[in-house]
């Protein structure tokens, strides 16, 4: 019996076993080192990268502060809306979905596809500020890559009536015009932020923490009275339609506080729908437009002469033969009046009389008087675009220029400057600071005329609204009124246009205890009438009557109907 030989055992070299052991140990050490590196050294970086895939910090918008009128009625409020945005490369939609999306966003499918296909952008807004219900219908389409952002849109209950005072905001909810722009910092508030966890589709699945709470904007209460504003706007709009005028402006000021109770401009616009907004509609004529005020400036020259003791209301000025030649220029009156008292110069609005009074005064004193009244400087309302007007240095005045400045030619003012200047006559010589914000107490002004002079001017200005004056159509039933008409040729290309006028009236009421100053300006009336007494004074009367009733101001005149005089019964002012 034979047996096969058993195979010999293979013995590996010792160095190979050691090599394998070293490789295993080295691999373990590398893994250990990598683990330490990732979990100790790179922990913060890796956490940030990980969180970047699911964690987001979202801005929490602050609610813009409401704007209210003095009675607490809302003039501007914020309503929640949504904006739709997309990451173009993530958007996946069928043609049918694009059709539906375009219909919801009021856009064309091709335009929508073009915007989404812009590869150079990783973020694009598809539609800003859409209603929440529309946003819900967009979300229901289930299109990947579309996202929503919560925002606020401003709504203006007063519409076109309060547009020029309140202004409006843009799509970023920042003020663009009016009060919205002037008080942007206090109305806007400060946005907050919060950390959330989102899924791969961008939906928030968990609200982790609030990082910073949003600070809502401050509520703002204006001096504006919505009811008086409505009366003012309606009266001004009707006047422009009646006289086929190019534009118009009106401002009403509370004599006790300096508050602007009404500020109206026509043409205007609807701040809730600005699709076809034009520059002419945006112009705030009360504050930004300058014009030659015409005869509404005569009372200031007369007041200076009275204050300096050069004249009294009974002093006689010879205006015959109704014209005055200075150098190669001649000043005319509408009708030759002969000898007039200073009071009659105001009542009849004599250019010749006013020019003679001006030429009797030092020109430096006249220039200083205009400056004291606030002309040539912004009214300091804090409102965008406040115009300063222009009053040239007295050293450059020629005699003819000094004479014409007495009746409002060669000087430019804004309507609000003119209205403020008339507070001097209503406040016994005190010039009031104006306020767009509701005041808590009566204002304290600066004395620029003596009280005696201011009262004398009040009597003269009341006579101008009585029969025989230039503004009997400014009278209202139940209250005494005072004021002055103005009619000036418009400047075009450095020369006065023959048939284009600016008609104005500035006055106050009631005369016994003035409460309101109202200034009206009508630009280029073209229906035949153009004198301030015929065009602007009736607007003043409508606004004053409505405002004094709303303010419950006691009557100081009989409650008898006012007879409106015919055209031949009204004294025409000189232009």
Is the separation of the CB atoms in 118 and 125 below 8 Å? no
CB 89 within 8 A of CB 122: yes
Q: How far apart are CA 105 and CA 116, in angstroms?
A: 14
Rounded Cα–Cα distance for residues 470 and 506 (Å): 12
Confirm if 244 and 228 have CB atoms less than 8 A apart. Answer: no
Closest to 541 (Cα-Cα) out of 523, 522, 562, 555: 562
Q: Which residue has the tokens 């000898």?
A: 339
Q: How many angstroms separate the CA atoms of 499 and 489, rounded? A: 7
| Tokens matching residue 307 | 């204050």
CA distance 472 to 405: 25
Contact present, 76 and 55 (Cβ < 8 Å): no
Q: How far apart (Å, rounded) are the C-alpha atoms in residues 492 and 489?
A: 9
Rounded CA separation 465/442 (Å): 28
Question: At 204, which helix (H) or strand (E)?
Answer: strand 204-212
Quick one: tokens of 88?
């173009």
Q: Can you say how many angstroms the Cα of residue 133 is from the centroid of all Cα atoms in its chain?
A: 32
- Distance CA(125)–CA(55), nearest Å, equals 22
Q: What are phi and psi of 557, to 5 degrees?
A: -145, 160
Catalogue the active-site residues.
Answer: 295
- The packing angle between helices 537-550 and 226-243, to 10°, is 160
Rounded CA-CA distance 225/172 in Å is 29
Compute the distance between CA of residue 368 and CA of residue 379 in angstroms, rounded to an integer. Answer: 17
Separation of alpha carbons 359 and 336, rounded Å: 20
Residue pair 137/128 in contact by the 8 Å Cβ criterion: no
State the Cα–Cα distance between residues 138 and 346, nearest whole angstrom. Answer: 69
């Amino acid at each position: 019996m034979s047996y096969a030989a058993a195979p010999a055992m293979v013995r590996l070299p010792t160095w190979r076993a050691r090599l394998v052991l070293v490789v295993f140990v080295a691999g373990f050490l590398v893994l250990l080192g990598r683990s330490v590196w990732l979990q100790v050294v790179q922990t913060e970086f890796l956490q940030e990268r990980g969180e970047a895939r699911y964690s987001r910090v979202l801005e929490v918008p602050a609610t813009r502060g409401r704007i209210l009128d003095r009675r607490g009625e809302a003039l501007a409020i914020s309503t929640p809306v949504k904006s739709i945005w997309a990451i173009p490369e993530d958007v996946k939609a069928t043609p049918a979905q694009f059709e539906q999306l375009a219909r919801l966003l009021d856009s064309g499918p091709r335009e929508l596809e073009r915007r989404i296909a812009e590869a150079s952008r990783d973020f694009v807004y598809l539609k800003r500020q859409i209603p929440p219900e529309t946003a819900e219908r967009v979300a229901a389409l289930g299109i990947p890559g579309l996202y929503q952002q919560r925002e606020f849109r401003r709504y203006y209950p007063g519409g076109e009536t309060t547009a020029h005072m309140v202004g409006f905001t843009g799509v970023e909810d920042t003020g663009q015009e009016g009060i919205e722009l002037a008080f942007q910092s206090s109305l806007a508030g400060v946005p907050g932020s919060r950390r959330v966890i989102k899924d791969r589709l961008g939906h928030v699945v968990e609200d982790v923490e609030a990082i910073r709470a949003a600070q809502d904007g401050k509520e703002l209460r204006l001096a504006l009275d919505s009811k008086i504003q409505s009366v003012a706007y309606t009266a001004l709009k009707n006047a422009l339609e009646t006289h086929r005028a190019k534009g118009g402006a009106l401002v009403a000021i509370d004599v006790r506080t300096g508050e602007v109770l009404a500020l109206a401009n026509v043409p205007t616009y609807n701040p809730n729908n600005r699709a076809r907004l034009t520059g002419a509609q945006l112009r705030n004529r009360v504050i930004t437009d300058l014009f030659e005020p015409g005869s509404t400036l005569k009372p200031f020259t007369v007041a200076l002469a009275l204050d300096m003791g050069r004249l009294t209301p009974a002093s006689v000025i010879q205006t015959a033969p109704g014209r005055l030649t200075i150098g190669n220029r001649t000043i005319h009156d509408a009708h030759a009046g002969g000898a007039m008292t200073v009071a009659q110069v105001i009542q009849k609005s004599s250019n010749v009389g006013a020019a003679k009074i001006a030429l009797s005064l030092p020109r430096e004193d006249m220039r200083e008087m205009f400056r004291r009244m606030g002309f040539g400087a912004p009214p300091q309302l804090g409102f965008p675009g406040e115009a300063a007007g222009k009053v040239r240095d007295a050293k450059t005045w020629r005699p003819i220029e000094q004479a014409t400045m007495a009746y409002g030619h060669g000087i430019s003012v804004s309507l609000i400057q003119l209205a403020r200047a008339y507070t001097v006559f209503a406040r016994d010589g005190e010039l009031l600071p104006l306020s767009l914000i509701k005041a808590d107490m009566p204002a304290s002004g600066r004395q620029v005329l003596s009280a005696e002079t201011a009262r004398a001017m009040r009597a003269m200005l009341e006579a101008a609204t009585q029969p025989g004056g230039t503004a009997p159509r400014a009278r209202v039933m139940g209250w005494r009124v005072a004021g002055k008409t103005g009619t000036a040729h418009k400047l075009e290309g450095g020369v006065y246009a023959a048939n284009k006028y600016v008609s104005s009236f500035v006055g106050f009421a009631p005369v016994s205890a003035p409460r309101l100053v109202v200034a009206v300006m009508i630009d280029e009336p073209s229906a035949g009438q153009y004198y301030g007494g015929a065009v602007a004074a009736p607007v003043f009367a409508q606004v004053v009557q409505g405002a004094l009733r709303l303010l419950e101001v006691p009557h100081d005149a009989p409650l008898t109907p006012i007879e409106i005089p015919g055209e031949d019964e009204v004294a025409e002012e000189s232009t």
